[in-house]
């Protein structure tokens, strides 16, 4: 589905990503790990369309991926991805309203009732049916992320991008969220890209793990070379030794 | 003993502490007024409390001998009307311009330098132009408030639009929203409580321009009256008028704050920005 050929991303003189080659099939769940500033979030932005590559190709079904966000690629950020001025229910209905309303985001009559029923069903599946009328600021961090996930899935995108979605949550709540996201991935046959700084999360959740790291270093100009994919591992058949190797590599950051 | 910076006044003490300077100020005034009136009974600079009461009764309860109007109410009504129209137009202008320049880089590139330039011109300097163009009637007074306050609100709205997290705009796009829907569905509703905050700050400036315009060319209004009776050194009228203006400003400010809380409950927990 997605084909990446010799992809580079530079900001001025600073290289962030270099020589990335990969192929992703429909339905894969890829977790992206790496030290902070290694470009994994930048890679996600390229997939999302808010940033464009400097060189190389990023193809979706053989065509260049659209250069601005659209409804086929859902996103959940670590924070700020729900609308604070709308209730939980309206946040989810907004997706339908945007997609169907022509000029304004208003839905009326039958279409409004349908959107409401759809939103209620989706919110039920993420366990938020008891807070339909609450505003986001009244929710806990975990509930807000559930809402963001529900909102991202209303329009049934093919690709779901997750940018450290559980980074700010307590470990106990993270477990619940992992279960939720795995269920939704199975049900909706999504292709998922998830950035995380938690290596365990990366191994537990994905079908495939990418590690981003710099392999070339110039001590005179640390910004001259970008990161690339140093490990591309099908998860589930991982040897203990490789896990430890990557874990050691990331440890200084994970401890921060 | 705790450090001074950690000492918090309990509620009754806080109230008394807040009232104390006011009481002291009044006492100081009464003492000074008595001293001057003892030396010269027809002194006009610091009237006694009794003289104030007479003046307030004259202005607020008794019809004017010439026109038959009760002057304080006529003045208040026309001033508030000018202020309300001027501020409402400024808010509308500021909201629209701030929204489109804050949200659309193309429009911003076209308008921003002009807006910056215009907001650098002291509005009082173009008051003569307004009088020439719009005449000496209501329009030129409203126009002065608009020219003085509009750009302030517009620039604030522009900044507030940019402060709405980029993530929300991206999210809306991934939900299939077009530019117009993002403006009307994501940005505009979130700007409304911020607009009320902006109006509260801009009202002080609004009063300034209102009174300036009334002082220069008018036949009624709070600013007109103050500048009119200045000729007779009528401090017994000027000071109550000033206190009345301050009270009106306070009531409007508190009213807007309550309106904001009531209309936009979701906004208050964001730190009330």
Mean pLDDT of B88-98: 96
How does DSSP classify residue A239?
-
Query: What is residue A167's three-state secondary structure?
Result: coil
Mutate to test the interface with B, among A44, A65, A70, A84 (most CBs of B within 10 A): A84
pLDDT of A253 > 60? The answer is no
Rounded to two decimals, the ipTM of the complex is 0.85
Q: What pLDDT, on a 0 to 100 scale, did the predictor assign at position A233?
A: 80
Q: How far is A24 from chain B (nearest CA, A)?
A: 21
Q: What pLDDT, on a 0 to 100 scale, did the predictor assign at position B65?
A: 83
Which comes out higher in pLDDT, residue A249 or B167? B167
Q: What pLDDT, on a 0 to 100 scale, did the predictor assign at position A114?
A: 87
For residues B48 and B32, what is the distance between their CA atoms, to the nearest angstrom? 10
If you average pLDDT over every residue of chain A, what do you get? 85
Contacts of B160 in chain A (CB under 8 A): none
Pick the closest to residue B226 from B216, B236, B238 (CA basis).
B238
Reported as a single tens digit per residue, the pLDDT across B17-70 is 999 999 999 999 999 999 999 999 888 889 998 999 999 998 988 888 888 888
Q: Provide the residue ranges of all domains of chain B, joining segments of one domain with +.
A: 72-262
- What is the residue-wise DSSP string for A6-36? EEEEEETTEEEEEEEEEEE-TT-EEEEEEST
If you average pLDDT over every residue of chain B, what do you get? 91
Q: How far is B172 from chain A (nearest CA, A)?
A: 8
Q: What pLDDT, on a 0 to 100 scale, did the predictor assign at position A75?
A: 93
Please name the residue ranges forming H helices in A49-108: 88-100
Reported as a single tens digit per residue, the pLDDT across A117-171 is 999 998 988 889 999 999 999 998 889 999 999 999 989 899 999 998 888 788 8
Q: What pLDDT, on a 0 to 100 scale, did the predictor assign at position A239?
A: 59
Mean pLDDT of B194-212: 94
Record: contact A85-B269, CB cut-off 8 A: no
Mean pLDDT of A75-90: 91
For residues B33 and A111, what is the distance between their CA atoms, to the nearest angstrom? 74
Q: How far is B224 from chain A (nearest CA, A)?
A: 43
Q: What pLDDT, on a 0 to 100 scale, did the predictor assign at position B263?
A: 93
Shortest CA distance from B269: residue in chain A: A137
pLDDT of B272 > 60? The answer is no
- What end-to-end distance do the CA atoms of chain A give, in Å? 36
Reported as a single tens digit per residue, the pLDDT across B142-175 is 999 999 999 999 999 999 999 999 999 999 999 9
Mutate to test the interface with A, among B166, B171, B180, B196 (most CBs of A within 10 A): B171
Q: Please give the structure tokens belonging to residue B249.
A: 């400003």
Q: What pLDDT, on a 0 to 100 scale, did the predictor assign at position B249?
A: 96
Q: Please give the structure tokens belonging to residue A109.
A: 């009559």
Reported as a single tens digit per residue, the pLDDT across B67-91 is 888 899 999 999 999 999 999 999 9
pLDDT of A255 > 80? The answer is no
Task: Report chain B's C-alpha Rg in angstroms.
Answer: 24
pLDDT of A66 > 80? The answer is yes
For residues A148 and B168, what is the distance between their CA atoms, to the nearest angstrom? 11
Q: What pLDDT, on a 0 to 100 scale, did the predictor assign at position A201?
A: 83
Contacts of B172 in chain A (CB under 8 A): 83, 94, 98
CATH number of B72-262: 1.10.3720.10
Whose structure tokens read 């985001």? A105
Burial string for B219-251 (b: 16+ CB within 10 Å, else e) reads: ebbbbbbbbbbeeeebbbbbbbbeebbeebeee
Q: Please give the structure tokens belonging to residue A5.
A: 């050929």
pLDDT of B273 > 60? The answer is no
Pairing of strands A2-11, A55-60: antiparallel
Q: What pLDDT, on a 0 to 100 scale, did the predictor assign at position B269?
A: 63
């Amino acid at each position: 589905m997605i084909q990446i050929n010799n992809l580079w991303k530079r900001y001025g003189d600073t290289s962030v990503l270099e020589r990335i080659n990969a192929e992703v099939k429909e339905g894969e769940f890829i977790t992206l790990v790496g030290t902070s500033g290694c470009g994994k979030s930048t890679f996600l932005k390229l997939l999302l369309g808010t940033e464009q590559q400097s060189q190389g190709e990023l193809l979706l079904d053989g065509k260049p991926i659209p250069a601005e966000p659209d409804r086929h690629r859902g996103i959940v950020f670590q924070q700020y991805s729900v609308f604070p001025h709308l209730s939980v229910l309206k946040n989810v209905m907004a997706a339908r309203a945007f997609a169907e309303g022509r000029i304004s985001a208003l839905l009326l009559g039958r279409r409004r009732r349908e959107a409401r029923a759809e939103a209620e069903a989706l919110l039920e599946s993420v366990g938020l049916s008891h807070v339909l009328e609450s505003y986001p600021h009244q929710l806990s961090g975990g509930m807000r992320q559930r809402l963001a996930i529900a909102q991202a899935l209303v329009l049934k995108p093919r690709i779901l991008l997750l940018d450290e979605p559980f980074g700010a949550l307590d470990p106990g709540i993270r477990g619940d969220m992992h279960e939720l996201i795995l269920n939704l991935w199975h049900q909706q046959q999504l292709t998922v890209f998830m950035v995380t700084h938690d290596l365990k999360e990366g191994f537990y959740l994905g079908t495939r793990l990418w590690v981003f790291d710099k392999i070339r270093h110039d001590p005179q100009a640390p910004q001259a070379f970008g990161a690339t994919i140093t490990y591309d591992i099908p998860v589930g058949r991982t040897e203990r030794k490789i896990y430890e190797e990557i874990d050691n590599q990331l440890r200084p950051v994970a401890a921060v | 003993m705790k450090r001074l910076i950690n000492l918090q006044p309990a509620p009754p003490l806080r109230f008394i502490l807040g009232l104390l300077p006011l009481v002291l100020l009044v006492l100081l005034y009464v003492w000074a007024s008595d001293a001057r009136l003892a030396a010269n009974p027809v002194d006009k600079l610091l009237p006694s409390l009794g003289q104030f009461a007479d003046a307030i009764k004259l202005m607020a309860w008794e019809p004017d001998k010439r026109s038959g109007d009760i002057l304080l109410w006529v003045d208040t009504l026309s001033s508030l009307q000018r202020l309300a129209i001027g501020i409402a137009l400024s808010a509308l202008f500021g909201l629209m311009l701030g929204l489109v320049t804050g949200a659309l880089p193309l429009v911003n590139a076209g308008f921003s330098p002009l807006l910056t330039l215009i907001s650098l011109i002291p509005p009082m300097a173009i008051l003569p132009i307004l009088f020439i163009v719009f005449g000496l009637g209501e329009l030129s007074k409203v126009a002065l408030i608009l020219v003085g306050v509009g750009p302030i609100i517009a620039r604030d709205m522009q900044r507030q639009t940019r402060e709405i997290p980029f993530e929300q705009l991206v999210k809306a796009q991934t939900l299939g929203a077009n530019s117009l829907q993002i403006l009307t569905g994501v940005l505009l509703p979130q700007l409304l409580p911020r607009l009320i905050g902006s109006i509260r700050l801009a009202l002080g400036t609004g009063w300034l321009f209102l009174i300036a315009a009334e002082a220069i060319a008018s036949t009624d209004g709070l600013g007109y009256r103050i500048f009119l009776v200045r000729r007779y050194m009528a401090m017994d009228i000027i000071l109550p008028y000033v206190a009345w203006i301050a009270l009106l400003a306070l009531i409007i400010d508190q009213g807007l704050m309550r309106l904001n809380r009531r209309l936009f409950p979701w906004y208050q927990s964001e730190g009330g920005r």
